[in-house]
Structure formats: structure tokens, C-alpha cells
Amino acid sequence: MNSSLFSALKVERNVMFIILSLIIVVAAFNIISGLTILVKNKTKDIAILKSIGVLNKSIVKIFFLIGVIIGTSATAFGIMLGVTFSIYIENLREFLSSTFNISLFPEEIYFLSKMPSEINPTSIFLISICSIIITIIVSIFPAFKAAKLDPIKALKYE
């Protein structure tokens, strides 16, 4: 009897997965573009470091670490925000409903007295690991780009 409802929920779940995956892809590209701009802005500094004998692997390490620090701290911040949001989701719904005088998640449509929310530590752990791994992977490209810079051009033209 409820097969169409379960089917709709399944579709919704898949769509949510695709949307969230796309958000992660966009975030990953943000890290790449942010680091690439940083490398571009620091071209002269990288050239100076090379001229005093700093090894390419050290330069890779610097930019790689920046990417990892950004990714890890953003993941931690995101988890804190997400968990807080999940805990207080009902309070938030009530606040938004009363403030803007709109009916959010109406009981008569969803047949639920309050907005459901579940904090799943395994999911949080898996999502954190995935985010950090993606950050590590996307930080590699700008880091190698920094190490490949030609110091002569940078010192001459910057």
C-alpha cells in the first residue's frame, strides 16, 4: 500500500546524496582555486625561498599543509555546525515559523509532530574522513604548481 511513498523517499534520498556530493565537489574546487590564487599571490615569495636554497619538497609541504589545515578546520567547523543544527532543529523550526509567520514542516502534511533529526556518529565519522581525504587530494595540485615555479621569471617580473 505504501510502496509509492517508500519509492518517493528513496528517490528523495538519492537526490539528496547527489546534491550533497555536488556541494563537496564545489567545496573542493574552492580549495583548489583558493590555493591557486594564494600561490599566484606568493609567486615572488616562493622565488625568494628558492633563491635561498629552500627545497622544492619544502615548498610543496608549505602549500599542502595550508590546504590540509583549511580542510580539516572547515570539516571540524562544519561538524560542529551540523550537530548543533540537528540538536536544535525543532527550536529553529519554531523560531523561523513564528518570526516569519509561516508554517514550516506542517504536521497535517508530514504526519509528524516535530521535525525528525538523528545524529549518527558513524555517518559523521565517515563524512569527516571523506572530507579530509578530498581536501588532501585537491591540495596536492596547487602545492606542486608552487614548487614548479620558475624563480627567474618570478623575481624578474613580479
Partner 1 sequence: MNSFLELKNISKNFNTEKKIKVLKKLSYNFEKGKIYSLMGPSGSGKSTLLNLISLIDRPTNGSIKFDNTQVNFNENNKNDIFRAKKIGIIYQQNNLLPDFTALENIYLASLSLHNDKNLAITKAKHLLKLVDLSNRAEHYPSQLSGGESQRVSIARAIINDPEVILADEPTGSLDMDTAKDVFQILKDLKSSSRLIIFATHNRFFANKADCLLEMINGSVKNINV
Residues lying near partner 1 in the complex (CB under 8 A): 44-45, 48-58, 151-152, 155
- Closest residue by Cα to residue 31 from 60, 1, 65: 65
CB contact at 8 A, 54 and 151: no
Nearer to partner 1, 34 or 78 (CB): 34
Nearer to partner 1, 60 or 138 (CB): 60
Nearer to partner 1, 1 or 52 (CB): 52
DSSP state letters, 19-58: HHHHHHHHHHHHHHHHHHHHHHHTHHHHHHHHHTT--HHH
Alpha-carbon distances, residue 48 vs 45, 71, 98, 153 (angstroms): 5, 27, 58, 12
Residue 39 C-beta: closest distance to partner 1, Å: 15
Residue 73 C-beta: closest distance to partner 1, Å: 20
Nearer to partner 1, 129 or 152 (CB): 152
Residue 140 C-beta: closest distance to partner 1, Å: 19
The DSSP output letter for 59 is H
Residue 49 C-beta: closest distance to partner 1, Å: 8
Residue 150 C-beta: closest distance to partner 1, Å: 9
3 state SS of 79: helix
Nearer to partner 1, 10 or 57 (CB): 57
Neighbours of 146 (CB within 10 A): 25
